[in-house]
Amino acid sequence: MAETTDLTQLSYEDARAMLKKWRECGVRRSEEVVEIWEHIISRSPASLGDEQWAVLEQVCIAGLDAARVDLAQECIDSLHAQFPESNRVLKLKAMQLEATEHYQKALEIYDRLVEEDPNNNSYRKRKVAVLLAQGKRLDAIRAINEYLKIFLNDPEAWLQLSELFLQENDVAKAVHCLEECVLIQPLNSMYFRRLGDLRYTQGGAENIELARAYYERALKINPTDLRSQYGILLSNNQIASTTKSASEKKKAGTAAVDAIDNLVNRYQKISPKSNPESDGILNCLEAMKVTVGSK
Amino acid sequence: MTDLLLDPAIRTWVFLPIVVITFFIGILRHYVSLLLMNKKKVELENIADGQYLLRARLLRENGRFLPKTSFNARRQYLCAEETGYLSKAQQRPAKGPNPMDPSQMTEMLKGNMMNMIPMIVVGGWINWTFSGFVTTRVPFPLTLKFKAMLQRGVDLVSLDSAWVSSASWYFLCMFGLRSIYTLVLGSENAADQSKAMEDQMAMTGSAVNPQADPRAAFKGEWEALQMTQHQFAL
C-alpha cells in the first residue's frame, strides 16, 4: 500500500473524500472502507446529507466483502428504512444472502429483480457470481453467454468468460473472448498479454508469431510490463529454434538477446532487498543469453 | 431626452410578481409532470440494438488487432446474409412510435398539454393583468431591432429600446430561469419551457437518433463493415 498513514486518524472531511474517491473509481479496499466507516464516518452519518445513502451502500458491500455481516445488516436496515421499496436495497439484501451462503434464496431474489427491471445488467451479473461461488462452472458459462447476447460490449464479462473457458481447458474459446476484450478496450495491455500467453500456449509457428506480436503490443502500451518482456524472449527463442529461414532465425535470435538485455537491466535496477531472488534470476538470464546467442 | 423615472410600485407590484409567478409555475409544472408522466421504458431489444451497433463500430475500428480469421468470423457473425444480426435487424418491420396507438397518443397529448396549457393560460393572464407597463431597463444600449422582442405590448416609437415591457419580462423570465430550476430541482427537471421546446426541435430533426429508425443505422453499419478491409496492425 502506498500511503502508510493511519486511516483511523483522518479528519472527517478527508475520510469522506477518500470514500467518495474509492466509490467512484470502484476500488476494492473493503477492509479500509470498513475501518474508515467505523472509526470516523459513523460518528455522525447524518452530516453527510444525501451522500449518506451512497456511503451506506458502499460500506455494506465492503462489509460483506470483509466478512462483517453484522455491519452490512446495519447498513441494509437503515437503507431499508429510508427506501422501503427500492430494488437497489433488495440487491444488497440478496448479496448478504450470498455472503452467508444462502445461494438459492439469493438467486430467487435476483430472478425477481431481473424480471422487474430487465435492463439493469448488474442483477444478471450477480446471478453469474452466485453460480461461480457455488462452483457451477458450466452453468456460469451458460449464464454469461446468455448475458452477453444482450450486453455484448462488457469487457468484464468477456474476461470472466475467458477465465472460465481456461479452467475448462478450452483455449480456443478463451482466445475468442479475449479478442472481444481487445476490440472493446484496445489500450489495455493486460488483454494483449493474455492473448499472447494463450497463443503461445496453443503453439504452432503461426500462433507463436501472433504471440510475439501481442507481447510486443502489450509492452508498447505498458513499457514496465515484465511478463510481456519474458513473453517476447520466449516466443523469439521458440521462433529462432524452429524457423527454417536463416534471416528470420537471426532476427529472432537478436530480438531474444535484446529482450534478455532489457530484463537484465530491469533486475539490476532493483535492490536484492526488495526481491531476494533477483540475483539468481540474473544469473539464470545471463546463462540463457549465452545459449541463445550461440544458436 | 430626460431619463424615464419608474414608479417604485411597478417594481413591487409588477416586476417582482412576474418573477415569482413564473418561478412557481415552473415548479408546479415540474411536479405535475412528475405526477402525469410515467418514465419512458426502454425496451431490452433497443439496448441490444445499440450494443450491436456499437460492437460493429468497434470491430471496424479495432479489428486490426485481431488476426484475419478472427476478424472474418466476427464480420460473418454480424453481416451474414441470413443469420447475421445486422442483416436480420434490417429486415425487421419498422416499429417506431406508432401514432395510432392510444397509449402513445395519450402520452403525446399529455406532453403537449403540459407545455401548451400553462403557456397559453399564464401568458394570457400575465398579458391581461400586467399589460402596458414598462418594468425595467437592461443596463446597456440596444439597437432598434430589439424593440419587438423587449417591448411587447408597449408600442412607443420614441422609447429607448433598452426598456423592457412587462409581457417581454415574463418571457425573459420563462426562458432565463433554467439554471435556477436546476439549482432548486436538480438537473432532470421538467420545469423549463425552453428545454421542452428544444426537445420538440430535436424530434423534428431526428436523423441522428438511432431510436427513430434503427434500420437505417443498421444498414449503414452493415455497409461500412462490408467495406472494411482487414489489415493486421501488429
Contacts of A216 in chain B (CB under 8 A): 234
pLDDT of res. A291 = 78
- Which of A33-47, A104-118, B115-129, B164-178 has the largest mean confidence? A104-118
Three cell numbers at A25? 473509481
pLDDT > 80? residue B40: no
Mean pLDDT of A59-75: 89
Q: Which of A124, A149, A162, A183 to mutate against chain B (most B CBs within 10 Å)? A: A183
pLDDT tens across B61-117, in order? 888 888 888 888 888 888 877 777 888 777 776 655 555 667 767 777 777 777 778
- CA nearest to A172 within chain B: B70
Q: Which of B59, B70, B76 to substitute to test the interface with A, most A CBs within 10 Å?
A: B70
Residue A162 has pLDDT above 90, yes or no: yes
What is the rounded distance in angstroms from the CA atom of residue B228 to the CA atom of residue A179?
18
Mean pLDDT across chain B, nearest whole number? 77
Domain assignments of chain B as residue spans, ordered by start: 8-227
DSSP chain B: -PPP---HHHIIIIIHHHHHHHHHHHHHHHHHHHHHPPPPPPPHHHHHHHHHHHHHHHHHHHGGGS-HHHHHHHHHHHH-TTT-HHHHHHHSPP-S--TT-HHHHHHHHHHHHHHHHHHHHHHHHHHHHHTT-EEEE-SS---GGGHHHH-TT---TTS-TTEEEHHHHHHHHHHH-HHHHHHHH-SS-S--HHHHHHHHHHHHTGGG-TTT-HHHHHHHHHHHHHHPPP----
Sequence-ordered list of residues with C-beta below 8 angstroms from that of B117, at least 6 positions apart, any chain: none
Smallest CA–CA separation between A94 and chain B, in Å?
23
Alpha carbon of A216: minimum distance to chain B alpha carbons (Å): 8
Q: Which residue of chain B comes nearest to A191, CA vs CA?
A: B65
What mean pLDDT do residues B45-70 have?
Answer: 85
Q: In this predicted model, what pLDDT tens digit does every residue of A93-106 receive, in sequence order?
A: 999 998 888 899 99
pLDDT at residue number B209: 45
Candidates A114, A179, A184, partner chain B, best to mutate (most B CBs within 10 A): A179
pLDDT level of residue A159 (50, 70, 90 thresholds): very high
Per-residue confidence (pLDDT) for residue B228, from 0 to 100: 81
Confidence of residue A174 (pLDDT cuts 50, 70, 90): very high
534478455: which residue's cell?
Answer: A260
Determine the average pLDDT of the residues in A79-101.
Answer: 88
CB A121 within 8 A of CB A152: no
Segment A193-204, tens digit of pLDDT: 999 999 999 888
**A182/B contact by beta carbon, under 8 A:** yes
What pLDDT, on the 0 to 100 scale, is given for residue A194? 92
Residue A156 or residue B30, greater confidence = A156
In total, the C-beta contacts within 8 angstroms joining chain A to chain B are 46
Q: Is the CB of residue A186 less than 8 Å away from at least one CB of chain B?
A: yes
pLDDT at A17 > cutoff 50: yes
Q: Is residue B137 over pLDDT 70?
A: yes
Q: Å from A10 to nearest chain B CA?
A: 31
Check pLDDT > 60 for residue A175. Answer: yes
**Whether residue A161 has pLDDT greater than 90:** yes
- How close, in Å, is residue B51 to chain A by CA atoms? 6
Q: Is A293 on the interface with B (CB under 8 A)?
A: no
Q: What is the largest CA-CA distance in chain B?
A: 85
Distance from C-alpha of B166 to C-alpha of B136, rounded to nearest angstrom: 8
Considering only the beta carbons, identify the residue of B44, B51, B65 that sits closest to A152. Answer: B51
B interface with A, Cβ–Cβ below 8 Å: 42, 44, 47-48, 51-52, 54-55, 58-59, 61-63, 65-67, 70, 74, 232, 234
Model-level ipTM above the cut of 0.90: no
pTM summary value: 0.71
Contact between B63 and A183 using a beta-carbon 8 Å cutoff:
yes
In DSSP notation, chain A reads: ----S-GGG--HHHHHHHHHHHHHHT---HHHHHHHHHHTGGG-GGGGTTHHHHHHHHHHHHHHHTT-HHHHHHHHHHHHHH-TT-HHHHHHHHHHHHHTT-HHHHHHHHHHHHHH-TT-HHHHHHHHHHHHHTT-HHHHHHHHHHHHHHSTT-HHHHHHHHHHHHHTT-HHHHHHHHHHHHHH-TT-HHHHHHHHHHHHHH-SHHHHHHHHHHHHHHHHH-TT-HHHHHHHHHHHHHHHHH---HHHHHHHHHHHHHHHHHHHHHHHHS-TTT-TTHHHHHHHHHHHHHHHHH-
pLDDT higher than 90, residue B227: no
Residues A260-274 have pLDDT tens digits of: 888 888 888 877 777
Is B59–A176 a contact, with Cβ atoms under 8 angstroms apart? no
Summarize pLDDT for A209-241 with one digit per residue, the tens: 889 899 999 998 988 888 898 898 888 888 888
The percentage of chain A sitting over the pLDDT mark of 90, rounded to a whole number, equals 15
